[in-house]
Amino acid sequence: MTDHALGARGPRSGLKALAAGSIGNFVEWFDFAIYSASIPIVARLFFPPGNDYAALLSAFALYGVAFLARPLGGVVWGNLGDRLGRRNVLATIVLLMGAATMAIGLLPTYATVGLLAPVLLALCRLVQGFSGGGEFTGATSFITEYAPSNRRGLFSAISATFTTLPAVLGTLTVLGMRVIMSEASFIEWGWRVPFLIGGPLAIVGLVIRLRMNETPAFQEVAGKHEVESAPLRVAVRHHGRQIALVFAIASLSGLGAYTLGTYFVSYLTVTIKISPTAALLANAAALAATVPLVPAAGLLGDRIGRKPLLFIGSAGFIALSVPGYLLAAQGSLSTAILGQLFVALPWSFVVAAVVAIQMEIFPTRVRYSASSIGYNLAYMVFGGTAPLVATWLVSVTGSSISPAFYLMIVAAVIFVVAFALPETSRLSLRTGAERPEPAV
């Protein structure tokens, strides 16, 4: 069966798959986004008073804790998804994510239970990370395997957009709670409301996913009795080089995503001393710009290939990171927005390339497992630690733009690594890197 036939179940099927996959991405990253936007209040409520910077670092560390569980989640969910199919695994994941997020909204604070508060928060974050480890790669596999072969870049990029759109809406939700109530009320109970929203969102995602059939690509593999009994072992043994390449390119995607979506709000409020309201607005504006940019880059990748996007994006980080931080450090709302846009623009090209490459470089029978390993390890090492490392760099160097050089160094490495990548837009989706076929 050709790649075109695999995706040719009618435009409505493709759009339904896009909705089913994207809703879980939305729930996952809405959960992460509201934690990101709430980090200053989390630092205040869940850690001992007296040292604001230490509390902020601790809150960032708990943000990173979720990423420790992501590789394990990726292994477990990916293995199940390649053996049993994508749909039911993704339905389970979205329910688990919503439950963990609601639990955060119900937790007691440090003033009530002392050190037990951050311990319970860490446990919730670990559950979020474990479930999230299988969400993005599974959802993108689901979407890509339904997509027409000449629109895989666009479909996977739209999937990625549903990791940034919730960041915008999550930030605006936290901002809205701050605006409509007094500071005292927000601190007392208002901060909990955005987390409690995660539960109903998860139920919506569950219903949508259960209404979908399994992907055409997986059905074909199952119909030919080619489902791997040990997909993780096969992925590591036979696709180790591709996993390493995915790890490399996803490291830049993860670093850019969590610099933009997590670190910048705290950077603007703590380091640059912008008001929390202005910082949230500026961050939401910059993230909103990526919503059309990422699909546009994905569509461009369907025309010119994935590697050119990666070259453009990594070069953009090298050229624009320092100017972006310098602008953001000027302290006004407009410069904060513009400075973050200097990071958002190259990231849009990078993520559009990465999400397509990590799907196309593996064959269907190990796609979920193999992509989960490379992607989640990269996001653990570079994504989850991005705000913590950036905060530490500013603290140690005394320079507010020091995190920009970290971005530049990683981008320079990835620019070189990109030469080793195959042009995956020309690979068969069913067989991955094993049997190249011309794009339709």
Q: Is pLDDT at 4 greater than 70 in this prediction?
A: no
pLDDT in tens, 263-321: 898 899 888 999 888 998 899 899 899 999 999 999 999 999 999 999 999 999 999 99
Per-residue pLDDT at 397:
93
Q: What are phi and psi of 361, to 5 degrees?
A: -80, -10
pLDDT in the model for residue 5: 44
Instruction: Find out whether 124 and 107 touch, Cβ atoms under 8 Å.
Output: yes
> What is the pLDDT at residue 440?
38
CA 395 to chain centroid: 26
d(CA 14, CA 1): 18
Q: What distance separates the 2 farthest-apart alpha carbons in the chain?
A: 65
User: Which pair of structure tokens corresponds to residue 383?
Assistant: 């994504």
Sign of the CA dihedral running 72, 143, 147, 382: negative
Q: 39-53, 100-114, 420-434: lowest mean pLDDT where?
A: 420-434
Distance CA 243, CA 314 (A): 20
pLDDT bracket for residue 181 (50, 70, 90): confident
* Residue 153: per-residue pLDDT: 93
Give CATH superfamily name and number for 3-436. Answer: MFS general substrate transporter like domains (1.20.1250.20)
pLDDT of residue 370: 94
| SS3 per residue for the chain | CCHHHHHCCCHHHHHHHHHHHHHHHHHHHHHHHHHHHCHHHHHHHHCCCCCHHHHHHHHHHHHHHHHHHHHHHHHHHHHHHHHHCHHHHHHHHHHHHHHHHHHHHCCCCHHHHCCHHHHHHHHHHHHHHHHHHHHHHHHHHHHHHHCCHHHHHHHHHHHHHHHHHHHHHHHHHHHHHHHHCCHHHHHHHHCHHHHHCHHHHHHHHHHHHHCCCCCHHHHHHHHCCCCCCCHHHHHHHHCHHHHHHHHHHHHHHHHHHHHHHHHHHHHHHHHCCCCHHHHHHHHHHHHHHHHHHHHHHHHHHHHHCHHHHHHHHHHHHHHHHHHHHHHHCCCCHHHHHHHHHHHHHHHHHHHHHHHHHHHHCCCHHHHHHHHHHHHHHHHHHHHCCHHHHHHHHHHHHCCCCHHHHHHHHHHHHHHHHHHHCCCHHHEECCCEEEEECCCC
Give the residue, 93 or 431, on which the prediction is more confident.
Answer: 93
- Give the confidence band of 7 by pLDDT, cuts at 50, 70, 90: very low
Question: In angstroms, rounded to a whole number, what is the distance separating the alpha carbons of residues 94 and 214?
Answer: 16
Q: What pLDDT does 234 receive?
A: 93
Give the per-residue pLDDT at 11: 55
Q: What is the pTM of this model?
A: 0.83
Q: pLDDT tens-digit profile of 66-98?
A: 878 888 999 999 999 999 998 889 989 988 988
The share of the chain scoring above pLDDT 70, in percent, equals: 95
Q: Tokens representing 283?
A: 């961050």
Residue 435: the pLDDT is 42
Cα distances (Å, whole numbers) of residue 300 to 26, 151, 238, 303, 410 = 24, 10, 31, 5, 24
Does residue 197 carry a pLDDT above 70? yes
Q: What angle do CA 261, 263, 267 make, to 5 degrees?
A: 130
Q: For residue range 326-336, what is the model confidence (pLDDT) as tens digits?
A: 999 998 999 99
> Is 50 exceeded by the pLDDT of residue 439?
no
Instruction: Say which residue the tokens 């990422």 belong to.
Output: 294
Give the tens place of pLDDT for each residue, 27-71: 777 877 788 778 888 888 888 887 777 787 788 788 778 878 888
Per domain, the residue ranges of the chain are 3-436
Determine the distance from the C-alpha atom of residue 267 to the mean position of all C-alpha atoms in its chain, rounded to a whole number: 20
432: β partners: 428
Q: Do 171 and 265 meet the contact criterion of CB atoms below 8 Å apart?
A: yes
Contacts (Cβ under 8 Å, ≥6 apart) of 207: none
